[in-house]
Protein backbone atom coordinates (compact mmCIF):
# COMPACT_ATOMS: atom_id res chain seq x y z
CA UNK A 1 0.00 0.00 0.00
CA UNK A 2 1.38 3.38 -1.01
CA UNK A 3 0.98 5.75 1.92
CA UNK A 4 2.01 9.37 1.55
CA UNK A 5 5.54 9.94 2.79
CA UNK A 6 6.50 6.25 2.68
CA UNK A 7 8.66 4.45 0.10
CA UNK A 8 6.79 3.51 -3.07
CA UNK A 9 6.92 0.23 -4.95
CA UNK A 10 6.22 -0.46 -8.61
CA UNK A 11 3.32 1.31 -10.34
CA UNK A 12 2.32 -0.10 -13.73
CA UNK A 13 1.15 2.53 -16.21
CA UNK A 14 -0.44 1.18 -19.38
CA UNK A 15 -0.14 3.65 -22.23
CA UNK A 16 2.73 5.33 -20.40
CA UNK A 17 4.60 6.47 -23.52
CA UNK A 18 2.37 9.44 -24.31
CA UNK A 19 -0.45 11.70 -23.21
CA UNK A 20 -1.90 11.21 -19.75
CA UNK A 21 0.08 8.01 -19.28
CA UNK A 22 3.41 9.81 -19.77
CA UNK A 23 2.27 12.51 -17.36
CA UNK A 24 1.42 9.84 -14.78
CA UNK A 25 4.89 8.33 -15.21
CA UNK A 26 6.46 11.72 -14.51
CA UNK A 27 4.23 12.29 -11.49
CA UNK A 28 4.88 8.85 -10.01
CA UNK A 29 8.64 9.26 -10.35
CA UNK A 30 8.52 12.78 -8.92
CA UNK A 31 6.67 11.36 -5.91
CA UNK A 32 9.42 8.79 -5.37
CA UNK A 33 7.70 5.88 -7.06
CA UNK A 34 8.92 3.37 -9.61
CA UNK A 35 7.03 3.76 -12.89
CA UNK A 36 6.86 0.69 -15.13
CA UNK A 37 5.30 1.15 -18.56
CA UNK A 38 3.30 -1.08 -20.89
CA UNK A 39 3.00 0.42 -24.38
CA UNK A 40 3.55 -0.22 -28.07
CA UNK A 41 6.05 2.67 -28.13
CA UNK A 42 9.09 3.15 -25.93
CA UNK A 43 8.54 5.93 -23.40
CA UNK A 44 10.89 8.88 -23.02
CA UNK A 45 10.90 8.38 -19.26
CA UNK A 46 10.30 5.35 -17.03
CA UNK A 47 12.02 2.89 -14.70
CA UNK A 48 11.07 -0.26 -16.61
CA UNK A 49 9.29 -0.99 -19.88
CA UNK A 50 7.64 -3.87 -21.72
CA UNK A 51 6.58 -3.35 -25.33
CA UNK A 52 3.06 -4.68 -25.84
CA UNK A 53 -0.04 -3.90 -27.88
CA UNK A 54 -3.00 -3.44 -25.52
CA UNK A 55 -5.24 -4.65 -28.36
CA UNK A 56 -3.96 -8.14 -27.49
CA UNK A 57 -5.37 -8.84 -24.00
CA UNK A 58 -3.45 -12.09 -23.52
CA UNK A 59 -0.17 -10.38 -24.42
CA UNK A 60 -1.07 -7.59 -21.99
CA UNK A 61 -1.61 -10.12 -19.20
CA UNK A 62 1.75 -11.74 -19.93
CA UNK A 63 3.47 -8.34 -19.91
CA UNK A 64 2.00 -7.48 -16.51
CA UNK A 65 3.25 -10.73 -15.01
CA UNK A 66 6.67 -10.25 -16.56
CA UNK A 67 7.06 -6.74 -15.20
CA UNK A 68 5.69 -7.68 -11.79
CA UNK A 69 8.02 -10.64 -11.43
CA UNK A 70 11.15 -8.68 -12.25
CA UNK A 71 10.14 -5.78 -9.97
CA UNK A 72 9.32 -7.95 -6.98
CA UNK A 73 5.57 -7.38 -7.16
CA UNK A 74 3.28 -4.41 -7.77
CA UNK A 75 1.90 -1.63 -5.61
CA UNK A 76 -0.44 0.01 -8.11
CA UNK A 77 -1.85 0.03 -11.62
CA UNK A 78 -2.98 2.99 -13.72
CA UNK A 79 -4.76 1.99 -16.94
CA UNK A 80 -4.11 5.05 -19.08
CA UNK A 81 -3.87 3.32 -22.48
CA UNK A 82 -6.58 4.54 -24.85
CA UNK A 83 -7.41 5.07 -28.49
CA UNK A 84 -10.29 6.36 -30.63
CA UNK A 85 -11.75 6.18 -34.12
CA UNK A 86 -14.27 8.87 -35.01
CA UNK A 87 -17.03 8.62 -37.57
CA UNK A 88 -20.55 7.32 -38.12
CA UNK A 89 -20.94 3.65 -37.24
CA UNK A 90 -21.85 2.70 -40.82
CA UNK A 91 -18.62 4.22 -42.18
CA UNK A 92 -16.04 2.89 -39.71
CA UNK A 93 -14.12 -0.25 -40.59
CA UNK A 94 -15.22 -3.02 -38.25
CA UNK A 95 -11.69 -3.97 -37.23
CA UNK A 96 -10.89 -0.35 -36.34
CA UNK A 97 -14.09 -0.07 -34.26
CA UNK A 98 -13.26 -3.33 -32.48
CA UNK A 99 -9.74 -2.14 -31.73
CA UNK A 100 -11.01 0.91 -29.83
CA UNK A 101 -13.20 -1.23 -27.58
CA UNK A 102 -10.48 -3.85 -27.17
CA UNK A 103 -7.73 -1.39 -26.16
CA UNK A 104 -9.90 0.83 -23.98
CA UNK A 105 -12.05 -1.77 -22.23
CA UNK A 106 -10.69 -5.29 -22.70
CA UNK A 107 -7.11 -4.07 -22.39
CA UNK A 108 -8.00 -2.34 -19.14
CA UNK A 109 -9.59 -5.51 -17.78
CA UNK A 110 -6.66 -7.67 -18.89
CA UNK A 111 -4.06 -5.46 -17.17
CA UNK A 112 -6.08 -5.34 -13.96
CA UNK A 113 -6.82 -9.08 -13.99
CA UNK A 114 -3.15 -10.01 -14.36
CA UNK A 115 -2.11 -7.51 -11.69
CA UNK A 116 -4.65 -8.60 -9.06
CA UNK A 117 -2.65 -11.36 -7.35
CA UNK A 118 0.22 -8.93 -6.79
CA UNK A 119 -2.04 -6.07 -5.70
CA UNK A 120 -3.96 -8.25 -3.24
CA UNK A 121 -0.63 -9.31 -1.76
CA UNK A 122 0.55 -5.68 -1.39
CA UNK A 123 -2.86 -4.18 -0.53
CA UNK A 124 -2.24 -1.98 -3.55
CA UNK A 125 -4.37 0.37 -5.63
CA UNK A 126 -5.94 0.52 -9.07
CA UNK A 127 -6.79 3.70 -10.99
CA UNK A 128 -8.81 3.09 -14.15
CA UNK A 129 -9.17 5.87 -16.70
CA UNK A 130 -12.64 6.47 -18.10
CA UNK A 131 -13.78 9.79 -19.62
CA UNK A 132 -16.56 12.33 -19.37
CA UNK A 133 -17.78 10.48 -22.47
CA UNK A 134 -18.25 7.46 -20.24
CA UNK A 135 -21.29 9.29 -18.88
CA UNK A 136 -22.55 11.41 -21.79
CA UNK A 137 -22.71 10.15 -25.36
CA UNK A 138 -22.03 12.12 -28.53
CA UNK A 139 -22.46 11.42 -32.23
CA UNK A 140 -19.71 9.80 -34.29
CA UNK A 141 -18.07 8.30 -31.19
CA UNK A 142 -19.86 4.98 -30.73
CA UNK A 143 -16.70 2.94 -30.15
CA UNK A 144 -15.15 5.39 -27.71
CA UNK A 145 -18.36 5.95 -25.76
CA UNK A 146 -19.10 2.22 -25.63
CA UNK A 147 -15.62 1.49 -24.32
CA UNK A 148 -15.62 4.27 -21.71
CA UNK A 149 -19.16 3.50 -20.52
CA UNK A 150 -17.81 -0.04 -20.15
CA UNK A 151 -14.83 1.14 -18.08
CA UNK A 152 -17.24 2.93 -15.73
CA UNK A 153 -19.33 -0.22 -15.22
CA UNK A 154 -16.29 -2.45 -14.97
CA UNK A 155 -14.69 -0.25 -12.33
CA UNK A 156 -17.82 0.08 -10.21
CA UNK A 157 -18.24 -3.69 -10.20
CA UNK A 158 -14.55 -4.16 -9.45
CA UNK A 159 -14.84 -1.77 -6.51
CA UNK A 160 -17.56 -3.94 -4.99
CA UNK A 161 -15.56 -7.10 -5.67
CA UNK A 162 -12.30 -5.86 -4.10
CA UNK A 163 -13.65 -3.96 -1.09
CA UNK A 164 -11.20 -4.18 1.78
CA UNK A 165 -8.53 -5.90 -0.31
CA UNK A 166 -7.43 -3.50 -3.09
CA UNK A 167 -8.20 0.20 -3.44
CA UNK A 168 -10.02 1.15 -6.65
CA UNK A 169 -10.47 4.65 -8.09
CA UNK A 170 -12.38 5.54 -11.24
CA UNK A 171 -10.71 8.56 -12.87
CA UNK A 172 -12.99 10.60 -15.14
CA UNK A 173 -10.92 13.17 -17.06
CA UNK A 174 -12.24 15.76 -19.45
CA UNK A 175 -10.37 16.80 -22.57
CA UNK A 176 -6.62 17.29 -22.21
CA UNK A 177 -3.89 19.01 -24.22
CA UNK A 178 -2.23 15.90 -25.65
CA UNK A 179 -1.53 14.39 -29.09
CA UNK A 180 -4.65 12.23 -28.74
CA UNK A 181 -6.47 14.37 -31.31
CA UNK A 182 -3.61 14.77 -33.81
CA UNK A 183 -4.57 12.07 -36.33
CA UNK A 184 -8.24 13.05 -36.51
CA UNK A 185 -10.02 14.80 -39.34
CA UNK A 186 -10.25 18.52 -38.63
CA UNK A 187 -13.98 18.30 -37.88
CA UNK A 188 -13.22 15.92 -34.98
CA UNK A 189 -10.44 18.02 -33.45
CA UNK A 190 -11.09 20.42 -30.56
CA UNK A 191 -11.26 24.04 -31.73
CA UNK A 192 -8.26 26.25 -31.06
CA UNK A 193 -10.07 27.94 -28.17
CA UNK A 194 -11.18 24.66 -26.54
CA UNK A 195 -10.87 24.48 -22.75
CA UNK A 196 -8.49 21.56 -22.22
CA UNK A 197 -6.67 20.45 -19.09
CA UNK A 198 -2.93 20.08 -18.73
CA UNK A 199 -2.31 16.30 -18.41
CA UNK A 200 0.22 16.98 -15.64
CA UNK A 201 -2.61 18.42 -13.52
CA UNK A 202 -4.67 15.28 -14.07
CA UNK A 203 -1.65 13.11 -13.28
CA UNK A 204 -1.27 14.92 -9.96
CA UNK A 205 -4.81 13.79 -9.13
CA UNK A 206 -3.81 10.21 -9.97
CA UNK A 207 -0.91 10.39 -7.50
CA UNK A 208 -3.31 11.82 -4.91
CA UNK A 209 -5.58 8.80 -5.40
CA UNK A 210 -2.66 6.37 -5.17
CA UNK A 211 -1.36 7.97 -1.98
CA UNK A 212 -4.50 7.70 0.15
CA UNK A 213 -4.10 5.92 3.51
CA UNK A 214 -5.26 2.33 3.72
CA UNK A 215 -8.55 3.09 5.44
CA UNK A 216 -9.57 5.77 2.92
CA UNK A 217 -10.98 5.11 -0.54
CA UNK A 218 -11.28 7.72 -3.27
CA UNK A 219 -13.93 5.91 -5.29
CA UNK A 220 -14.49 8.25 -8.23
CA UNK A 221 -12.54 11.33 -9.28
CA UNK A 222 -13.72 13.76 -11.98
CA UNK A 223 -10.98 16.11 -13.22
CA UNK A 224 -11.88 18.64 -15.89
CA UNK A 225 -11.05 22.13 -17.02
CA UNK A 226 -13.09 24.70 -15.09
CA UNK A 227 -15.08 25.39 -18.27
CA UNK A 228 -15.34 21.80 -19.51
CA UNK A 229 -18.22 21.51 -21.96
CA UNK A 230 -18.96 17.80 -21.55
CA UNK A 231 -19.51 17.89 -17.78
CA UNK A 232 -21.92 17.60 -16.08
CA UNK A 233 -23.52 15.03 -18.40
* Tens of pLDDT, residues 76-117: 999 999 988 878 999 999 999 999 999 999 999 999 999 999
For position 1, what pLDDT does the model report? 44
| Burial (CB count within 10 angstroms: exposed 0-12, middle 13-18, buried 19+), residue 81 | buried
For position 179, what pLDDT does the model report? 63
Instruction: Pick the more confident residue, 2 or 81.
Output: 81
pLDDT confidence bin for 193, thresholds 50/70/90: low
Dihedrals phi, psi of 217, to nearest 5 degrees:
-120, 125
For position 7, what pLDDT does the model report? 43
For position 182, what pLDDT does the model report? 54
Sign of CA dihedral 74, 80, 85, 89: positive
Query: Distance between CA 183 and CA 156 in Å, rounded?
Result: 32
Average pLDDT on 157-174 reads 95
| Residues paired with residue 78 on neighbouring β-strands, in sequence order | 13, 127
Q: What is the mean pLDDT of the chain?
A: 89
Measured from the Cβ of residue 120, the count of other Cβ atoms closer than 10 Å reads 12
Percentage of residues in the chain with pLDDT exceeding 70? 88
Query: Distance between CA 220 and CA 32 in Å, rounded?
Result: 24
Amino acid sequence: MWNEGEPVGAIVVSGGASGLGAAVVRAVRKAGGVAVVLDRDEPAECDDFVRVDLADPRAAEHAVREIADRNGGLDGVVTAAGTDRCGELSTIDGAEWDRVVTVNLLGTAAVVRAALPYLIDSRGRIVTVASTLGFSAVSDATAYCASKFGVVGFTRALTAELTGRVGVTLLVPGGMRTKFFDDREERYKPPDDARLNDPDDVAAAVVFALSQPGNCELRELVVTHAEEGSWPP
